[in-house]
Structure 1
């Protein structure tokens, strides 16, 4: 996997690890950005990992661009020899699929959609060769997802499904973006799922909504007091389908300050995962639920 480097103006180096998203490209990007952070290279002011690339911002008065490029190339070579294992977390995210709020929103914007006579879930099920919305929800929630990057808006995670490429769910974005998306909508565009951390415009298909806040700039929510954004690259997400009663109960718990998300520490090996994907995902599920 050959990384392509380019300068972005006087203060940035952009590295394209792979042209297509893959866990291998993501792991290499994560390894290098973590190494840059740990090395505390003088003059580096910001590190931005992405799905299959990364960008480093630097102060050219403190480090010469060519010197930083040489250091990044050295770390790139070291990544090829490293064991693809990370210490991370697996997080359970409850989802009310086919909820009334995203349904009301998507119906307001049907003229911008590929299938104006159906819902986003119905459309996604059909184009992925599944015979029902329930079958699609099962396919969406049965396997875990990697957080490959956080951004676009504050706290929004991009999630990559941890199954063989031929089984990955795919769905295009709306023909034209919406001007409204409910906060905490679970969306999907291309091969990526996401959670909209705030209300606003968007173009991803809308599948449901979670009662679990993932971004709190005031840091009043118990599990977001240390940092306002829940997710970081390398986190693993497991969706948990819930009904309306469970959703309402979770919202009440959040409001009362007693909601406790299910989060477990885990060591993830890409080599072992690729050896037996379904078996490894069952292992992760066991870690999540204490089995």
Structure 2
């Protein structure tokens, strides 16, 4: 991987680890951004990690741009040899796949879709060579998903499924973005999944909806006192539910009784690379313990 450094105006340095997403690129980016944070460089005002890149905002009156660039380049060699194990969390996310709300929405925007005659799930199953929607949903929910970044809108996680590259689900975004997406839609575009934290425009294919809020700007939901649920490095396990469990979960959240299933875990990139299925099984055992 060839890291590229560039200035973004007078107050930013953009660092591209790789042109494509990979866990290797993510871990290198994570190591470098952690190093910046720990170094407490005078003048750094914001650290913004992304899928395979990151951006640093700085005050040029405190640190000169070239000096900022030099500081960042100094962290790269250490990042190459850094231990690729992180302490993280695995989070259970219930999903009502093929729900009535995303289905109603997607039907309003078929003229913007690659296949106006199919639902998003039907299209995704076909282009990924699954025999039917049920088989596609089973694959989507089978292996956990790695949160590679949080952003675009507040609290929205971009996720990358922890499977071998040849098993990655890939679906193009809509030909033209929608002007509406239900809140808490589970979507997918390219190789990335996401959960829409708020209602709004969007271009990802819509597979279902979770009853579980992931962003609460008022901090009124018990498990969202820090406003947002996810942080980079978290691991999501999607779990298919029926309408009855969806309604029960919504009622429990409204009553303040809902507690999400979250377990502390350790994730090793080397272990995953050597044995993806075995690593995933251990992660899921941690969640179920």
TM-score range, shorter chain: over 0.9
- Once structures 1 and 2 are overlaid, which stretch shifts more, 61-70 or 211-220? 61-70
CA distance in 2, matches of 1:35, 1:250: 40
Match of 1:260 in 2: 259
After TM superposition, the structure 1 = structure 2 runs for residues 227-242 of structure 1, keeping only pairs within 5 Å, are 227-242=226-241
Secondary structure of the residue aligned to 1:18 is coil
Question: Are residue 283 (structure 1) and residue 275 (structure 2) matched?
Answer: no
| Equivalence for 1:168 | 168
Aligned residues: 289
The residue that corresponds to 2:29 in the other structure is 29
What pairs with 1:68-217 in structure 2 (closer than 5 Å)? 68-217=68-217
Please give the secondary structure, in 1, of the residue aligned with 2:75: helix
Structure 2: distance between partners of 1:266 and 1:39: 26
Aligned to 1:54: 54
SS at the partner of 2:187?
Answer: strand
Q: Quick one: distance in 2 between partners of 1:261 and 1:168? A: 27
**Hey, what's the Cα distance between the residues in 2 that align with 1:64 and 1:20?**
30
Q: Distance in 2 between matches of 1:183 and 1:289?
A: 28
Cα distance in 2 for partners of 1:31, 1:91 equals 23
Could you list the per-position Cα deviations for residues 14-59 of structure 1 after superposition, in whole angstroms to 9, with x for gaps in the alignment? 0000011100001111111111112211100000000000000000
Displacement after TM superposition at 1:67 (Å): 1.6
Deviation digits for residues 236-289 of structure 1, max 9, x if unmatched?
000010000000000001100111001111111100110100110001000111
- What is the TM-score when the length of structure 2 is the normalising length? 0.99
Q: What stretches of structure 2 of length at least 5 have no aligned partner?
A: none
The offset of 1:111, in angstroms, is 1.0
| Secondary structure, counterpart of 1:278 in structure 2 | helix
Aligned partners of 1:107 and 1:101: how far apart in 2? 10
Question: Unaligned stretches of 5+ in structure 1?
Answer: none
Distance in 1, Cα, partners of 2:38 & 2:159: 25
Q: For 1:57, what is the secondary structure of its paired residue?
A: strand
User: Residues 93-139 of structure 1: CA distance to partner in whole angstroms, max 9, x if unpaired?
Assistant: 00000000000101111111111111000000000000010000011
Q: Which moved further from structure 2: 35-44 or 161-170? A: 35-44
CA distance in 2, matches of 1:73, 1:96: 45
Q: CA deviation at 1:2?
A: 2.2
Q: Tell me the alpha carbon deviations over residues 39-86 of structure 1, each in whole angstroms, 9 at most, x when there is no partner.
A: 211100000000000000000111111222111111111111111111
Q: Aligned-pair RMSD on alpha carbons?
A: 0.7
TM-score, normalised by the number of residues in structure 1: 0.98
